[in-house]
Amino acid sequence: MTDNLKLYTYWRSSCSWRVRIALNYKDIPFDPIPKTPEYKEKNPNGVVPSLLFPDGKLVIQSSAILELVDELYPQKPLLPKDPFKRATVRSICALIGSDIQPIQNLRVLNYVGETKQEWAAHFIDLGFQALEAMLIKHGGKYCFGDEITLADAYLVPQVYNAKRWGVDMSKYPVITAINDRLVELEPFKKSDPSVQVDAQ
Amino acid sequence: MTDNLKLYTYWRSSCSWRVRIALNYKDIPFDPIPKTPEYKEKNPNGVVPSLLFPDGKLVIQSSAILELVDELYPQKPLLPKDPFKRATVRSICALIGSDIQPIQNLRVLNYVGETKQEWAAHFIDLGFQALEAMLIKHGGKYCFGDEITLADAYLVPQVYNAKRWGVDMSKYPVITAINDRLVELEPFKKSDPSVQVDAQ
């Protein structure tokens, strides 16, 4: 055991992946704790991620964790200082984190049943039309201009899901170009599901 | 026309309602602009709310708007100063704003079709089990202790939706008690769908 932060995580969970990206980008050491059946006792919502601090404080919900991490560890900030720019970054995060990802996560898809492939592709497609427009307006090398922000931590897992569910990414050249640049960066490589301790 | 903020809104939209609550709670004057067919041109995501500032800046996504409003108008803060307390408030917001509301909004329910009542009740119920546990732990008079926070702006519209879709609220006494206290407060009354200019 170490005094590191502990991240309750699951290799393929988009929301865990976002937090891994932020922690790795800021060079914050953490111990990943893969999701187990006992996990639900610690988190009333029963979902990863949650972040456990050495003093026992446990924080759930990726958006709340990411804001907290950026507040507590100001090195390499993931939100701009200007309030309106912050708002734009947060709106890109919310477009992915509220309008796209929750509707195509496994909990929902398992309930949808046999039409889940069509369901996931439909809602990711709808969301990506809006996202592509946002990134044309606000993006640069990355989602918001040329600096890494929280929005980039949301983008990469969502593009992975889009590909997994067969979305035609050729319709989204700006999303694709930004994602291609991000996945080459070291903190993003370290956060990829395929290299997690619980990867299958 | 005034120099007020303009809120693109729809009377029954939960996300618009959250923003109305925050603006009314902080006594920030705003002109509501009900959603129209032309609206989609201003907002690539085609959904309300969006907040237009007198200098032409437009911010979308209720979570981003709410954070911005709390940053620009620090009177009657809607987030605690302590980072961990802020994180807890944000986690309650995210539980509603990412795990519950997006899965039972009209866009999704229209796609679900004839089983939409069962669908909505199922996912609200799942979310409310987690929310009740959170509010038992963190709530007081309101969602987080005895002060109004952003979490309260999320709660009231979500309880309205739960009742609309036939969720048995007797299973959630803490949610119910907090909601009952909130709806008696003036800023919450002014924000209710039934008193909006576009109410049907």
Scanning the structure block, which residue is given the tokens 């709390």?
B70
Domain identity same for A60 and A94: no
Rg (CA), chain B: 16
3-state secondary structure of A147: strand
Q: How far apart are CA A81 and CA B104, in angstroms?
A: 34
Q: Which domain holds residue A36?
A: 5-76
Domain identity same for A180 and A116: yes
B197–chain A Cβ distance below 8 A for any pair = no
Beta strand residue intervals within chain A, DSSP E: 5-9, 30-34, 50-52, 58-60
State the pLDDT at residue B133: 95
Scanning the structure block, which residue is given the tokens 């907290």?
A68
- Nearest beta carbon to residue A61 from set B86, B95, B108: B95
State the pLDDT at residue A1: 56
Is B146 a member of any domain?
yes
Longest CA–CA span in chain A (Å) reads 47
Is A199 a member of any domain?
no
Is A170 a member of any domain?
yes
Domain identity same for A46 and A116: no
A76, A106, A124 - which closes a domain: A76
Helices (H), chain B: 14-25, 39-42, 62-72, 83-94, 106-112, 116-138, 150-164, 173-182, 186-191
A35, A53, A76 - which closes a domain: A76
- How near does any CA of chain A get to the CA of B58, in Å? 9
Domain identity same for B87 and B181: yes
Question: Can you read off the two tokens belonging to residue B92?
Answer: 């309650």
Listed residue (B81, B87, B15) closest to A99, CA to CA: B15
The enclosing domain of A26 has a CATH number of 3.40.30.10
Scanning the structure block, which residue is given the tokens 């009177």?
B75
Q: How far apart are CA A120 and CA A140, in angstroms?
A: 28
- Cα angle value A15/A19/A24 (rounded, 5°): 145
- Cα angle value A133/A135/A137 (rounded, 5°): 70
> Which residue, among A5, A18, A78, A91, would best test binding to B if mutated, counting the most B CBs under 10 Å from its CB?
A91
Number of domains in chain A: 2
Domain identity same for A26 and A48: yes
Q: How far apart are CA B128 and CA B123, in angstroms?
A: 8
Domain identity same for A109 and A175: yes
Is B176 a member of any domain?
yes
State the pLDDT at residue B45: 55
Question: Can you read off the two tokens belonging to residue B77?
Answer: 């803060």
Contact at CB, A99 and B57, closer than 8 angstroms: no
State the pLDDT at residue A135: 98
Question: Can you read off the two tokens belonging to residue B141?
Answer: 């008079």
Domain identity same for A30 and A93: no
Listed residue (A191, A98, A80, A76) closest to A140, CA to CA: A80
Contact at CB, B98 and A67, closer than 8 angstroms: no
- How near does any CA of chain B get to the CA of A45, in Å? 5
Residues of B in contact with A62 (CB under 8 A): 94
Question: A185 pLDDT band (50/70/90 cuts)?
Answer: very high
Per-residue pLDDT of chain B (200 residues; tens, 9 = 90+): 568 999 999 999 999 999 999 999 999 999 999 987 666 666 655 578 999 999 999 999 999 999 999 999 999 999 999 999 999 999 999 999 999 999 999 899 999 999 999 999 999 999 999 999 999 999 999 999 999 999 999 999 999 999 999 999 999 999 999 999 999 999 999 999 999 999 98
Is A69 a member of any domain?
yes
Closest chain B residue to the Cα of A135, Cα to Cα: B44
A16, A48, A76 - which closes a domain: A76
- Describe the crossing of helices A83-94 and B62-72 by its angle, rounded to 10 degrees: 160
**Which residues, in sequence order, are bridge partners of residue A50?**
A8, A60
Listed residue (B104, B92, B106, B102) closest to B142, CA to CA: B92
Whether A3 has a pLDDT exceeding 90, the answer reads: no
Domain identity same for A62 and A91: no
Neighbours of A50 (CB within 10 A): 26
Closest chain A residue to the Cα of B81, Cα to Cα: A71
Rg (CA), chain A: 16
Closest chain B residue to the Cα of A50, Cα to Cα: B91
ipTM: 0.95
Domain identity same for A88 and A182: yes
Q: How far apart are CA B118 and CA B149, in angstroms?
A: 31
Domain identity same for B16 and B36: yes
